Structure 1
Amino acid sequence: MAFRGWKTLAGAGFGAVLLGALAGSAVADDTLKLTELSPNGADACFGRVYDAAHLKAYPKQKVARIFFYYGHDPVSRPNEEPPANQDTSYNGFLTTTVRGAKKPEWASSWCNKSDPSDPSSGIGCGMDCDRSLASLKVDDKGKLLISGLSPDVYLDPDASESMSKAEYARQQLGSGDDNFKLDPMPADTCKAEFARIDPIDPALGDPLRVRLKPDQPFCYGRDYDDAHLKSHPNQMTQSIRVFRGPIELASFAADGDKANWPDGADIAVSVTTRQKGARVTQTYSCQGEADQWRCAASSKMSDFSCDITQKEIFLKRGANGTMMLANPNSSLAIVDLCSKAAHGKTKSDDKVYRLQAMPQSACAP
């Protein structure tokens, strides 16, 4: 993805709409149905780590470590935000580490018989956006054969158009990354491998849904001094506030559902730029997604009246009680979100902010 570290709908399978008939019967009753992969219905793990001799003999293979987990989500953790409209049909999880990489990449899928009426048919694994992950088969020795693995399995569907050819080729898997044969392994081995993707940082503390209560106001912000602005000449933001005040609390009290907090929570973002010096405020409506809040610009209580629902920001817990705000798509209210200047990718330094907790008075109008 273009904005590493912040999950969007195209990445990691969170919050996306599932397509195809395969999704309907995967783990609806919490039972693993594919006995070839899991004879006893328990979570199953397959993996292989290639040694230096193998990699030297196969220079077109980028993958140095590969694991496939058939079972329940090994990546999401209890202290993350639950995905919006969480879908339990994902039952196949692939993770690979390419040569020289410090941690793995991963993809989620749902796996079923290619032909449910034919017990001898192979296993197909589908992904979001009507894509295929791979075909699976277990041989007579219990090894898992993976074929048909697309080299762009970890890339967004539109990556070929949004990336240069060189960058697209760099992020793809190699031409030799297919037809893998994986050994059966204990489920804990796969869980440990997937844990390498996003290790828990104790300094992060509770997720935002726990730290921030539905019936309590909050105020986070940052004021940038002259020294900082001088060293960041492309930064427009002089002061920023993210808050929930009486208006946002009343809105959630009237229409919100505490059981699904933070889905439907309104937040306000105010920005003062050093060019104009006037504060601009925009309201966003949020939902929990993975370890972040995904917030779409709202017409409620905003300075703008055009259709801005596709303008988004992301909130994420930071270390030691801070809050991170990401603005990857020029969706922050630095300029009129209805103007042409607000379209396209953010080109300035106004992309990611580390905000400190502030007294509520610091966010007052």
Structure 2
Amino acid sequence: MALRGWAFPEWKTVARAGFGAVLLGVLAGSALADDALKLTELSPNGADACFGRVYDAAHLKAHPHQKVARIFFYYGHDPVSRPNEEPAPSDTSYNAFVATTVRGAKAPQWAGGWCNHESEDGKTGPIHCGMDCDRTLASLKVDDKGRLLLSDLQPDVYLDAGSEEELGTAEYDRQALGKEDDNFRLDPMPAATCKAEFARIDPIDPALGPPLRERLKPDQAFCYGRDYDAAHLGSHPNQLTQSIRVFRGPVELASFASGGDASNWPDGADIAVSVTTRQKSGKVTQTYSCQGEADQWRCAASSKMSDFSCDIAQKEIFLKRGADGTMMLANPNSSLAIVDLCSKAADGKTKSDDKVYRLQPMPQSACAP
């Protein structure tokens, strides 16, 4: 049934982690080379190394311009991974990862890069950690007690380059790190401690089962839907949807087989959505092209195999896995094909009950043309 009263910020439109909105497609993770880690100051035995610190209330009260309440630095193989809907990691050379949680935040933000000695032989001198786009992640030293001294952490480490001008001073200051968020002294910790901290970034809800990208294979047809009876529609007078189907059939499978990359699944997956409303005798079908993003599939309306021909790329829906094998569909911006997506009626927020749907798995015949 269509669900009412959901808070749509829960359906994320941009996952701002790592290097800001750019992401460059490689922040899904890294697979360090099998060679032992080279910076022996950080990792004397070649194993992954973890350093961290959690600041207490007294410290934060004494440092009002420090936003960071928790900070962890991990040197080694990717501790972030992608446990939800984003594609499996591609190989990169990242060997350093920073996670910080600011005051009041529920989850950390993170960034990754490369750390090496600043010397011609690469074996001596200060340790510098760089990021994509020739940016600095941090500078590192290890003191005589094995603690990591982390400096040069940039205020905009989680923002795009040039974001101060784009956002304006006030919003930039709100999103950037604080004036005292630098020169951290971090204690050595077990690698498992860092992995647990990074796992807080994109946690899995075990009650929901495997991600959709695992449930639904690149070469697998599927059909989910819901039919609403007169009693339901009578109690939901603002709901236009009488019947809804979300599916991949032979056409969508052939489209992915010819141009998709199974290693990046579900990115590039086409799905079709068919809707019958109270006001129309026939169903309207719209195709969407999806990509994995955090715990959902973000699907933009496509001109392929659709009933509309205008530029509708900004019309989006979002798919999530639901409990007991269901699929949740969110339509916060009138992007469901209840009305002609090219018309003015499709602009603005959805005002009816046609915002969120809990869909049941159905036989493929239920989604046949």
Q: 1:16 to 1:99 in 2, by over 3 A?
A: closer
**Amino acid of the structure 2 residue aligned with 1:135:** S
| Aligned position for 1:36 | 41
How far off its partner does 1:80 sit?
Answer: 3.5
For the residue of structure 1 that corresponds to 2:324, the secondary structure is helix
For the residue of structure 2 that corresponds to 1:270, the secondary structure is strand
Tell me which of 119, 123, 126 is aligned to 2:128: 123
**Amino acid of the structure 1 residue aligned with 2:43:** S
How far off its partner does 1:106 sit?
Answer: 2.0
Q: Does 1:207 align with 2:214?
A: no
Moved more, 179-188 or 292-301: 292-301
Tell me which of 161, 182, 187 is aligned to 1:183: 187
> Are 2:246 and 2:271, in contact at CA under 8 Å, matched by a contact in 1?
yes
How far off its partner does 1:45 sit?
Answer: 0.6
How far off its partner does 1:273 sit?
Answer: 5.5
| Aligned position for 1:22 | none
Aligned pair count? 352
What is the CA deviation profile of residues 74-127 of structure 1, one whole-angstrom value per residue up to 9, with x for unaligned ones? 2325x53452672433332222233344x3222131123374526313312315
For the residue of structure 2 that corresponds to 1:283, the secondary structure is strand
Kindly indicate whether structure 1 or structure 2 has the higher relative contact order, using CA contacts under 8 Å at least 6 residues apart: 2
Q: Does 1:56 align with 2:61?
A: yes
> Are 1:133 and 1:149, in contact at CA under 8 Å, matched by a contact in 2?
yes
Relative to the length of structure 2, the TM-score reads 0.75
> Are 1:123 and 1:137, in contact at CA under 8 Å, matched by a contact in 2?
no
Q: 1:9 to 1:278 in 2, by over 3 A?
A: farther
> Are 1:93 and 1:109, in contact at CA under 8 Å, matched by a contact in 2?
yes
**Amino acid of the structure 2 residue aligned with 1:133:** L
> C-alpha separation between the residues in 1 aligned to 2:192 and 2:256?
41
| Aligned position for 2:199 | 195
Q: 1:310 to 1:133 in 2, by over 3 A?
A: farther
Identify unmatched segments of 5+ residues in structure 2: 1-7
**Amino acid of the structure 1 residue aligned with 2:208:** L
> C-alpha separation between the residues in 2 aligned to 1:229 and 1:161?
46
How far off its partner does 1:188 sit?
Answer: 1.1
> Are 1:27 and 1:89, in contact at CA under 8 Å, matched by a contact in 2?
yes
Q: 1:156 to 1:205 in 2, by over 3 A?
A: farther
Relative to the length of structure 1, the TM-score reads 0.76
Identify unmatched segments of 5+ residues in structure 1: 20-24
Moved more, 164-173 or 176-185: 164-173
What is the CA deviation profile of residues 222-245 of structure 1, one whole-angstrom value per residue up to 9, with x for unaligned ones? 456446745xx6x77665421112
> Are 2:329 and 2:358, in contact at CA under 8 Å, matched by a contact in 1?
yes
> Are 2:16 and 2:158, in contact at CA under 8 Å, matched by a contact in 1?
no
> Are 1:148 and 1:178, in contact at CA under 8 Å, matched by a contact in 2?
yes
**Amino acid of the structure 2 residue aligned with 1:11:** A
How far off its partner does 1:220 sit?
Answer: 1.8
How far off its partner does 1:294 sit?
Answer: 4.2
For the residue of structure 1 that corresponds to 2:111, the secondary structure is strand
Q: 1:143 to 1:335 in 2, by over 3 A?
A: farther
> C-alpha separation between the residues in 2 aligned to 1:37 and 1:342?
56
What is the CA deviation profile of residues 234-288 of structure 1, one whole-angstrom value per residue up to 9, with x for unaligned ones? x776654211123323444555565665454321022456677764322123344
For the residue of structure 1 that corresponds to 2:196, the secondary structure is helix
Please show how residues 57-206 of structure 1 align to structure 2 within 5 Å.
57-76=62-81, 80-81=84-85, 83=87, 86-101=90-105, 103-113=106-116, 115=118, 117=120, 119-127=124-132, 131-155=135-159, 169-206=173-210
> Are 1:92 and 1:125, in contact at CA under 8 Å, matched by a contact in 2?
no
Moved more, 208-217 or 324-333: 324-333
How far off its partner does 1:347 sit?
Answer: 6.4
Q: 1:193 to 1:226 in 2, by over 3 A?
A: same
> C-alpha separation between the residues in 2 aligned to 1:180 and 1:11?
21
Could you say which structure has the larger radius of gyration? 2
